[in-house]
């Protein structure tokens, strides 16, 4: 509870700094800075990555489910990310590198099924987390990095299994996007470039099978 309250306080402070621009934003707003923030916010509602060609992954557990949900197909111990599946890469202490992207895609797909109520949190969150760490090891992520990521998903991953339009999760997503948008607006002003030229979303990604790296076909 103490950790949850500290997270809430941090997001509240950052959101308080970013939301005045968002509140001022409207279709008829005369000042360009407000419209710029709106465009930046729209960019950050787009996912970072999207699957180009379908990728089939052999899970290390049997889900005993046959599911089809938003570009995800789960059949027993086989998970297929269909063309168009999108995700946001690493979160928390993680950094997006080719070595982590396949794992984050599989992890996000399984969490998506949990959020949608297609899979139960128990035992599938634990299965998803274990699968994530297993893929990271296969793809060459160091033991130290894996330990940090494993601790992160173990301690904080539960909030990511909640529906995105509910309570604290909705607030957290809104706060993060507002903060990112404010940062992009500042970068756009400093570089004198449209925000679309600084952040290009989504990047189209393809994984080989088995994948050791991700192959981006569009750069951000």
**pLDDT, mean of residues 208-212:** 54
- Residue 68 near residue 217, CB atoms below 8 Å: no
Mean pLDDT: which of 44-48, 103-107, 160-164, 207-211 is highest?
A: 103-107
Q: What is the pLDDT of residue 35?
A: 65
Name the band, by pLDDT with cuts 50, 70 and 90, for residue 1.
very low
Alpha helix locations (H) across the chain? 2-24, 32-44, 98-115, 121-138, 143-160, 167-191, 195-198
Range name among 45-49, 94-98, 146-150, 160-164 with the lowest pLDDT average = 160-164
Give per-residue pLDDT as tens, 162-205. 665 555 566 666 777 777 777 778 888 888 888 877 777 788 99
Average pLDDT over residues 24-38: 51
How large a percentage of the chain has pLDDT more than 90? 40
CA 73 to chain centre: 19
Higher pLDDT, residue 155 or 76: 76
* Averaged pLDDT, 117-141: 94
Q: Can you name the residues that pair with 80 across neighbouring β-strands?
A: 56, 73
Q: What is the pLDDT of residue 178?
A: 76
**Per-residue DSSP letter, 91:** -
Question: Is the pLDDT reported for residue 153 higher than 60?
Answer: yes
72 vs 15: which has the higher pLDDT: 72
Q: Please state the pTM of the whole predicted model.
A: 0.71
Highest mean pLDDT range out of 60-64, 187-191, 204-208?
Answer: 60-64
6: confidence class by pLDDT, cuts 50, 70, 90 = low
Please report which confidence band the pLDDT of residue 2 belongs to, taking 50, 70 and 90 as the band edges. Answer: very low
Cα torsion 61, 49, 53, 55 to 10°: value is -10
Residue 212 has pLDDT above 50, yes or no: no
Nearest Cα residue to 218 out of 95, 50, 42: 50
Q: Is the model more confident about 134 or about 173?
A: 134
* Model confidence at 5: pLDDT above 90: no
- Residue whose token pair is 């192959």: 215
């Amino acid at each position: 509870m103490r950790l949850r309250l500290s997270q809430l306080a941090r997001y509240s402070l950052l959101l308080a700094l970013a939301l005045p621009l968002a509140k001022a934003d409207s279709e008829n707003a005369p000042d360009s800075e407000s419209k710029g923030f709106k465009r930046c916010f729209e960019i950050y509602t787009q996912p970072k990555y999207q699957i180009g060609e379908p990728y089939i992954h052999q899970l290390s557990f049997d889900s005993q489910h046959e599911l089809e949900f938003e570009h995800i197909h789960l059949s027993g111990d086989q998970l297929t990310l269909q063309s168009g599946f999108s995700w946001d890469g690493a979160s928390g202490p993680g950094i997006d590198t080719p070595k982590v992207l396949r794992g984050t895609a599989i992890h996000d797909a399984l969490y998506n099924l949990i959020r949608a109520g297609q899979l139960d949190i128990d035992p599938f969150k634990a299965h998803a987390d274990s699968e994530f760490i297993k893929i990271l090891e296969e793809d060459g992520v160091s033991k130290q990095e894996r330990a940090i990521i494993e601790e992160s998903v173990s301690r904080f991953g539960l909030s990511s299994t909640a529906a995105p339009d509910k309570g604290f999760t909705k607030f957290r997503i809104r706060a993060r996007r507002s903060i990112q948008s404010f940062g992009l607006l500042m970068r756009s002003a400093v570089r004198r470039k449209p925000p679309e030229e600084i952040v290009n979303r989504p990047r189209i990604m393809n994984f080989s099978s088995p994948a050791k790296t991700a192959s981006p076909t569009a750069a951000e």
